[in-house]
Amino acid sequence: MQQFLTLEGGYLVIAFVIMLITLFVTTRPFMAKGSLKKGTLSVFLVLSFFISSHFYVTTSRMAEVKEAFDADQIVICESRMQRKVAQTVIVQKSNSWFMDGDNFASPHYTREFHSARCIIK
């Protein structure tokens, strides 16, 4: 559950705002009867599908990245520290990188890189 909230927290907030907008619009006098129930249910189902699909795809990629890292393959991670030059970091187990939970860490870097923001080269 903690991993779900960490990965999908921003999308859950956006979905909550969309649900509030849906509630506001479907309760207006110009809307047809029954639009509150139909609109809320359909928007909720669509948002639930998209958020759960994103979570599944992200966790699957994280598992693939971890397996590749354990096999000493090259993993490329997004670096948000420098946005102009070197926007990616090459992570490899043989170059003193290690896993700290879901994060890649190294004694040569001050920050860790979450495996959800990494891909296999």
| Residue 33 tokens, joined | 């009867």
Mean pLDDT over 8-30 rounds to 93
Is 113 in contact with 100 (CB distance < 8 Å)? no
Q: What spatial distance separates the first Cα and last Cα of the chain, rounded to whole Å?
A: 29
Task: Write out pLDDT tens, residues 40-53.
Answer: 999 999 999 999 99
* pLDDT at residue 45, as a whole number: 97
Task: Write out pLDDT tens, residues 79-117.
Answer: 766 666 667 888 898 888 999 888 899 998 888 888 888
List beta partners, residue 90.
Answer: 76
* pLDDT at residue 101, as a whole number: 87
* Separation between Cα atoms, residue 57 and residue 19, nearest integer Å: 24
